């Protein structure tokens, strides 16, 4: 053999330098799910624009009314229907009320409806979808048949009916939206739970004797948080839109309070003469919906890289 | 196939029954009767009115009556329009809504597909970006905002189009644009992403390799498969146009079903609201049923189980 008199000499070996010894170690701290998502989200300019606008409009709705020298209800006919000026940034309405201030108060109502309705239907949807997906079998079958049946019903019709029954007003709108729009959340959560419950950590939790509700609430739901947040973000603008829609057909909050939909609906009457009265509420609604939609799309890409197109 | 159709049919009927029942009990849960106006009616007249509409009978009996009439297609009398039934009102106003709706569906389908194809074939270029901007705006701007914007530009500023009424072709332009804006944008996005998916598949490469012209490849091979998702959207599309018409018909003064519905809400005409809800739901469920079966026929890969 050729290798027979192959001799190992000391020179053939070299000590590994100290710094290379730790090469297998991860030097930088590993990123958590949220850091990773945030990093991806930051790269998406549209989504960040949306996020900043959402924060901006929310802050404005909270503190804006305190900073404004006007209120939403005092009428002063001597300054009615004035165009935008330095004193009244967005002009005044037929009752001499400052439109900018009314939009700020309107933001409170519209955003409250958006956030509260979304969070309520999130809660219903998560519990319903979680239970249905986790228990599976007959329970799942019956619960999903109910959802399918409800899904075929045009929900807006039902929101209108509920509003007619319980009367117009802020609480009614939130209630009607919350009980009508949880269906898609339930479906998404169920799909997530169905795939997650096969995994080992659920088996481990069961083996350790965790009760069902604990497994659903502490293990399954937190693991499907990505799609839940995306659905939540996208359901806020749809709630705001529905509120504006309802207000527009006369089922919204009552005067002198005004959501954006009410403002748009009131401005409809004076559109031919004073178009600016329509322009600003319409702009507020559109920009807010745009911002939430951009943010939602960005979050989908950031939280679930597999969904990327 | 037959099994599937029967299953879907039963599901549709059950849904319709749920809707009719829910609507009935919701309407009867309203505190105060429909004749509680601001000026209280003399008790005798009120009793006579309640007698006439059967409102003094027990709820279960009223429900049975209502269901029996519903099976015959009778939606009952309007409480506010003297001597007119809900069926009369539907017969009068449905054709108008249907015309507007059909024109809107056709326009948004054709234009939406066209925009989607243009965007997909020019992916990343300015045409694509323009379509995506239009599509994003169309999805986020509410229809009544779009409608007022159109009125302001075309009727107030340019005096090109009539703002109110529904008599000739020129009366269609703005309502159709406002009503179809959302669905057009949605269809454009859907077509774009679906076509982008399809043109990367092997059979398209085969078609190109055979030396077929670009147009044949796109329109005969790619678009056919790319349009399958659009068929699923037809159901929600009709629903959107139907509910969208509430606002649009009110804004443009179009004497259709949507306007009657909104007027019914203003007048607290409960039997109208009830009747129109059931009618609208019936339309939508029938349409969804047809679309589901069409879908299964068009795409043989879909398994007919449910």
Q: What is the pLDDT of residue A309?
A: 40
> How many residues belong to chain A?
309
**Residue B60, exposed/middle/buried by CB under 10 A (0-12, 13-18, 19+)?**
exposed
Residue B306 has a pLDDT of 42
Q: Is B241 on the interface with A (CB under 8 A)?
A: no
Smallest Cβ–Cβ distance between A285 and the set B139, B145, B268 belongs to B145
How far, CA to CA in Å, does A42 sit from each of A223, A309, B195?
A: 23, 18, 29
Q: Look at the alpha carbons of A36, A130, A140, B290 in this order and tell me if their dihedral is positive or negative.
A: negative
Predicted local distance difference test score (pLDDT) of residue A3: 66
Q: Is the peptide bond before A256 cis (omega within 30 degrees of 0)?
A: yes
Cα angle for residues B178, B114, B292 (degrees, 5° grid): 80
Q: Which domains does chain B have, with CATH numbers?
A: 1-306 (1.10.3720.10)
Chain B: nearest CA to A99, how far in angstroms? 17
Tens of each residue's pLDDT in chain A, 309 residues? 566 677 788 888 888 777 777 666 666 777 777 788 888 888 888 888 889 999 998 998 888 777 777 777 777 767 766 777 777 667 777 777 777 888 888 888 888 888 888 888 888 988 898 888 888 888 888 888 888 777 777 777 778 888 877 777 788 888 888 887 888 888 888 888 888 888 888 888 888 888 888 888 888 888 888 888 888 888 888 888 888 888 877 777 776 778 888 888 888 777 777 777 788 888 888 888 889 888 888 888 787 655 444
Residue with token string 């178009």:
A275
> In this structure, what is the dihedral angle of CA atoms A11, A13, A19, A25, given to the nearest 10 degrees?
170
Q: How far apart are CA B294 and CA B284, in angstroms?
A: 15
Nearest by CB: B15 against A153, A251, A282: A153
Q: What's the rounded Cα separation, in Å, for the pair A12 and A8?
A: 7
Mutate to test the interface with A, among B140, B152, B157, B159 (most CBs of A within 10 A): B140
The Cα of A258 is separated from the nearest Cα of chain B by a number of Å equal to 17
Structure tokens at A116: 């509260």
Q: To the nearest whole number, what is the mean pLDDT of chain A? A: 80
Q: How many CB pairs under 8 A join A and B?
A: 99
pLDDT of residue A308: 44
Q: CB atoms < 10 A from the CB of A70, how many?
A: 19
pLDDT of residue B111: 92
Place of tokens 């039997």: B271
Looking up tokens 């705001």 gives A240
In angstroms, the CA B191 to CA B185 distance is 10
The three-point CA angle A111-B180-B246 to 5° equals 65
* Residue of chain A minimizing CA distance to B16: A153
pLDDT the model gives residue B20? 86
Whether CATH 1.10.3720.10 fits A38-66+88-307: yes
What is the model's pLDDT at position A306?
57
- Interatomic CA distance for residues B216 and A195, integer angstroms: 42
Q: Which pLDDT belongs to residue B31?
A: 67
CB-based contact A88:A115 (threshold 8 Å): no
pLDDT beneath 50, residues of chain B: 305-306
pLDDT of amino acid A52 = 92
């Amino acid at each position: 053999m050729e290798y027979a008199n192959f001799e190992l000499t000391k020179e053939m070996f070299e000590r590994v330098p100290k710094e290379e010894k730790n090469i297998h170690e991860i030097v930088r701290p590993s990123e958590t799910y949220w850091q990773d998502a945030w990093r991806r989200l930051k790269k998406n300019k549209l989504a960040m624009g949306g996020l900043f606008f959402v924060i901006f409009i929310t802050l404005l709705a909270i503190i804006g009314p305190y900073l404004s020298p006007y209120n939403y209800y005092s009428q002063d006919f001597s300054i009615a229907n004035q165009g935008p000026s330095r004193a009244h940034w967005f002009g005044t309405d037929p009752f001499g009320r400052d439109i900018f201030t009314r939009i700020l108060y309107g933001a409170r109502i519209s955003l409250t409806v958006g956030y509260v309705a979304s969070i309520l239907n999130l809660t219903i949807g998560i519990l319903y979808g979680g239970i249905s997906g986790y228990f599976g079998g007959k329970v799942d079958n019956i619960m999903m048949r109910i959802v399918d049946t409800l899904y075929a019903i045009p929900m807006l019709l039902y929101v209108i009916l509920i509003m007619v029954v319980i009367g117009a007003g802020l609480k009614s709108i939130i209630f009607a939206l919350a009980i009508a729009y949880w269906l898609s959340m339930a479906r998404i959560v169920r799909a997530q739970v169905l795939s997650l419950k096969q995994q080992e950590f659920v088996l481990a939790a069961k083996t350790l004797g965790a009760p069902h509700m604990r497994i659903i609430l502490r293990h399954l739901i937190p693991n499907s948080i990505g799609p839940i947040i995306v659905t939540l973000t996208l359901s806020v603008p749809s709630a705001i839109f529905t509120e504006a829609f309802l207000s527009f057909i006369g089922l919204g909050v009552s005067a002198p309070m005004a959501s954006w939909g009410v403002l748009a609906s009131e401005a409809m009457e004076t559109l031919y003469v004073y178009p600016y009265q329509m322009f600003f509420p319409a702009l507020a609604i559109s920009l807010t919906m745009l911002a939430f939609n951009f943010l939602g799309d960005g979050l989908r890409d950031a939280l679930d890289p597999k969904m990327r197109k | 196939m037959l099994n599937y159709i029967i299953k879907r049919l039963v599901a549709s009927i059950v849904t319709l029954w749920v809707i009719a029942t829910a609507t009935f009990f919701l309407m009867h849960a309203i505190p105060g009767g429909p004749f509680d106006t601001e000026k209280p009616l003399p008790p005798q007249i009120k009793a006579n009115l309640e007698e006439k509409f059967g409102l003094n009978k027990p709820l279960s009996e009223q429900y049975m009556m209502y269901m029996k009439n519903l099976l015959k297609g009778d939606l009952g009398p309007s409480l506010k329009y003297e001597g007119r039934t809900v069926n009369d009102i539907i017969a009068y106003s449905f054709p108008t809504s249907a015309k507007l709706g059909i024109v809107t569906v056709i326009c948004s389908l054709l234009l939406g597909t066209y925009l989607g194809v243009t965007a997909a074939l020019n992916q990343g270029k300015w045409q694509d970006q323009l379509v995506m901007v239009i599509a994003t705006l169309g999805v986020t701007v509410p229809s009544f905002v779009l409608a007022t914007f159109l009125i302001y530009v075309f009727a107030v500023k340019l005096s090109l189009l009539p703002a109110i009424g529904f008599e000739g072709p020129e009366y269609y332009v703005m309502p159709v644009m406002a009503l179809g804006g959302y669905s057009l944008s949605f269809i454009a996005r859907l077509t774009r992403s679906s076509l982008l998916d399809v043109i990367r598949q092997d059979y398209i490469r085969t078609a190109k390799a055979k030396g077929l012209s670009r147009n044949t490849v796109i329109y005969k091979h790619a678009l056919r498969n790319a349009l399958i998702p659009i068929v699923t959207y037809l159901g929600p599309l009709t629903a959107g146009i139907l509910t969208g018409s509430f606002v649009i018909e009110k804004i443009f003064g179009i004497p259709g079903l949507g306007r009657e519905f909104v007027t019914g809400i203003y007048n607290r005409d409960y039997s109208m609201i009830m009747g129109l809800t059931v009618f609208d739901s019936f339309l939508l469920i029938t349409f969804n049923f047809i679309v589901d079966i069409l879908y299964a026929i068009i795409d043989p890969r879909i398994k007919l189980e449910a």
